[in-house]
Structure 1
Amino acid sequence: MVGRLSFRHLNPDWNAEPNAPDVKLTVEGNTVQLTFLLNSWAYDARKAETGTLRFIGCSRWRWDSTNDHAWFAGRGLYSKQAPKWGEFYEVIGDSRPIGEDDWEVLSPDGPKSLQFLFYFRDDTIEVVAEDWSLARQMPGAG
């Protein structure tokens, strides 16, 4: 059961490429990284520039195939609650039970754990971690 939720918008001045973000997820220990193409049409990003969200102190994550069509039809995760599709949020107040069949569990959630949600065009990715950061990179830079 999802209780009363609020969503803190975390990407007001950047976003993923809306059509083909080419999302890649990697896990190293308790760090999860999402790498994707940045949106160069609506934000200050260059063509082919990537963003890497790094979640440290990650206890669990899930990659859901909910896309924009399902979300707008009211069938997607938080489709009736989240303010807008295609954004990155901290989710506050989620009380859904945690089933290991739904999540890739790395460790128990800690007292500093926060829940993050990113709606990409064809996927929804949730991460529970202590913190996050964004790094940007051009191809070939390094």
Structure 2
Amino acid sequence: MANLTFQHLNTDWNAEPNAPDVELTVEGNAVRLSFRLNPWAYSAAPGEIATLRFLGCSRFRWDATNDHAWFAGEGLYSGQAPKWGEFYEVIGDTRVAEDDDWDVLSADLPSARQFLFYFRDDTIEIVAQDWSLTREIPPAAESSSR
């Protein structure tokens, strides 16, 4: 796994650091990853939810590597990724396609890209063609902030 580049993708937002309440949903060849946003360090309302949608997804894996393990040098990309708790595109030769620790939805396409998000208690990797971010304030959070 030499010569990797980690392109930082979440420069003006991030997941809530203590209880992001991460949910992953598969919809055909799309994967939705929803979580609470961090209102303390970024422009986000308390309770605001972000959803990353990965289109043309071929595989994903949800790993239990948490912040303690990562700082102890355990887990994939520990010592290589620039910072814990961020969302990256991993560029370079990362792993063989036959790894059996992935949930495989389809064959990887030549245009596939690998994404990596470090949450407090989880690491999620997704191979997909593209991603987008939407944000919403749930009705319960809207009424409690008035």
- Whether these two folds match at TM > 0.5 is yes
Q: Extract unaligned runs of 5+ from structure 1.
A: none
1:96-107, aligned counterparts within 5 Å? 96-107=95-106
Structure with bigger gyration radius: 2
The equivalent residue for 1:124 is 123
TM-score by length of 1: 0.95
The equivalent residue for 2:143 is none
The equivalent residue for 2:91 is 92
Residue identity opposite 1:33 in structure 2: R
CA deviation map 1:72-113 (0-9, x unaligned): 000121011000000000000133123352100011111110
The equivalent residue for 1:33 is 32
Residue identity opposite 1:120 in structure 2: F
State the 1:25 CA deviation.
0.2
Q: After the TM superposition, which parts of structure 1 deviate over 4 Å for at least 4 consecutive aligned residues? A: none
Q: Give the number of equivalent residue pairs.
A: 140
What SS does the corresponding residue of 1:95 show, helix, strand or coil? coil
What SS does the corresponding residue of 2:134 show, helix, strand or coil? strand
Q: Extract unaligned runs of 5+ from structure 2.
A: 141-146
The equivalent residue for 2:5 is 6
State the 1:140 CA deviation.
2.2
1:56 aligns with 2:48: no
Q: CA RMSD in A?
A: 1.1
The equivalent residue for 2:133 is 134
TM-score by length of 2: 0.93
Structure holding more helix per residue? 2
1:69 aligns with 2:75: no
What SS does the corresponding residue of 2:69 show, helix, strand or coil? helix
What SS does the corresponding residue of 2:54 show, helix, strand or coil? strand
Within 2, Cα distance between the matches of 1:73 and 1:100?
24
Percent identical pairs in the alignment equals 71
What SS does the corresponding residue of 2:133 show, helix, strand or coil? strand
The equivalent residue for 1:43 is 42
What SS does the corresponding residue of 1:8 show, helix, strand or coil? strand
